[in-house]
């Protein structure tokens, strides 16, 4: 049996599941098989509630031993959750200060209104305080994929928003999130930051890890992991990831 990497880290949206959607049973069972043999991390810009709905609640029948090898890193690893004594516990959270949070919320709303991108018909709130991250979702957190694609087919609106907000928040980092969202964190917080924190948390060096993500292109939110020098595998969506895992598990 060929040995697996000591740890396999995954992006969540469009890598393990469609954006904001739960794991398919096929993917859930592959993750459980992987957890029998190696450590697994999920790292995403999303918050822990999304990890619960998309991942944790789908891992039916997981044993405590399997879950003890699962490392959850919401909001790019500014938070870390582990399964301890029968429950998911927050191990740390690096939150924005109230001043940082308030200025991020105010600036991103002002910029969106000025650019004419502040929508009134939305699926849930546009702005969200995720503790360590403020997120702007143009059409709301629960917007359907079709509506998001139609709103900004080229990504130009999102880029304009990101640039304008960044110019007014020099002390913070404004980054492209999902298809219609931008994330605001402390400077230097991206998935590479999360992967470095993961080294301490999991006790696995970067060169023993494999990262799998759908946005490893230079503009993608997975790219910082590749730039960090971690071995990466690019995928085009969760069915592609499933095939990669089936190959790895069969080897
Ligand atoms: Mg993704």
pLDDT digits (tens, 9 = 90+) for 49-84: 999 999 999 998 999 999 999 999 998 898 999 999
First to last CA, the chain: 6
CA of 90 to the centre of ligand 1 (A): 23
Question: Which of 78, 108, 102 lies closest to 181 in space, CA to CA?
Answer: 108
What mean pLDDT do residues 174-178 have? 86
Question: Which of 160, 98, 150, 104 lies closest to 127 in space, CA to CA?
Answer: 104
Radius of gyration, alpha carbons of the chain: 18
> What is the rounded CA–CA span in Å between residue 112 and residue 160?
9
CA of 21 to the centre of ligand 1 (A): 12
> What is the rounded CA–CA span in Å between residue 28 and residue 117?
37
Q: pTM here?
A: 0.80
CA of 54 to the centre of ligand 1 (A): 13
> What is the rounded CA–CA span in Å between residue 119 and residue 113?
9
Q: What are the residues whose beta carbons fall under 8 Å from the beta carbon of 33, sequence distance 6 or more? A: 245, 249
Confidence grade of residue 45 (pLDDT, cut at 50, 70, 90): confident
> What is the rounded CA–CA span in Å between residue 39 and residue 73?
13
CA of 214 to the centre of ligand 1 (A): 5
Q: What is the pLDDT of residue 219?
A: 86
> What is the rounded CA–CA span in Å between residue 249 and residue 251?
6
Q: What is the pLDDT of residue 225?
A: 97
What mean pLDDT do residues 135-152 have? 94
CA of 137 to the centre of ligand 1 (A): 15
CA of 178 to the centre of ligand 1 (A): 7
> What is the rounded CA–CA span in Å between residue 90 and residue 14?
25
> What is the rounded CA–CA span in Å between residue 142 and residue 122?
8
Q: What is the dihedral of CA 121, 117, 138, 145, to 10 degrees?
A: 80
Cα 222 to the chain's mean position, in Å?
9
CA of 12 to the centre of ligand 1 (A): 6
Residue 161 predicted with pLDDT over 70: yes
What mean pLDDT do residues 123-143 have? 93
CA of 179 to the centre of ligand 1 (A): 10
Question: Which of 15, 5, 43, 14 lies closest to 225 in space, CA to CA?
Answer: 43
CA of 203 to the centre of ligand 1 (A): 25
Residue 188 predicted with pLDDT over 90: no
Residue 47 predicted with pLDDT over 90: no
Question: Which of 112, 80, 81 lies closest to 184 in space, CA to CA?
Answer: 112
Domains delineated in the chain: 7-93+189-250 (3.40.50.1000), 98-186 (3.30.1240.20)
Q: What is the pLDDT of residue 92?
A: 92
Alpha-helical regions (H) of the chain: 25-35, 48-54, 64-67, 98-115, 145-151, 156-168, 191-202, 223-227, 238-250
């Amino acid at each position: 049996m060929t040995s697996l990497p000591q740890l396999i880290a995954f992006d969540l949206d469009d890598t393990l599941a469609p954006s904001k959607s739960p794991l398919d049973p096929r993917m859930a069972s592959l993750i459980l098989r992987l957890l029998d043999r190696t450590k697994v991390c999920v790292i995403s810009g999303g918050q822990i509630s999304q990890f619960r709905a998309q991942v944790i609640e789908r891992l039916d029948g997981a044993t405590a031993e399997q879950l003890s090898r699962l490392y959850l890193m919401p909001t790019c690893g500014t938070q870390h959750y582990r399964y301890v004594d029968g429950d998911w516990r927050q191990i740390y959270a690096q939150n924005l200060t109230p001043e940082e949070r308030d200025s991020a919320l105010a600036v991103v709303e002002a910029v969106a209104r000025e650019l004419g991108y502040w929508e009134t018909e939305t699926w849930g709130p546009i702005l969200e305080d995720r503790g360590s991250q403020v997120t702007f979702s143009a059409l709301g957190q629960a917007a359907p994929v079709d509506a998001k694609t139609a709103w900004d087919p080229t990504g130009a609106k999102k880029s304009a928003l990101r640039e304008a907000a960044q110019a007014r928040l020099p002390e913070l980092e404004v980054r492209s999130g999902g298809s219609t969202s931008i994330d605001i964190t402390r400077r230097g917080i991206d998935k590479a930051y999360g992967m470095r924190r993961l080294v301490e948390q999991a006790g696995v060096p970067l060169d023993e890890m494999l990262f799998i993500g759908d946005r490893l292109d230079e503009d993608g939110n997975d790219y910082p992991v590749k730039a960090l020098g971690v071995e990466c595998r690019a995928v085009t969506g969760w069915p592609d990831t499933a095939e990669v895992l089936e190959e790895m598990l069969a080897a």
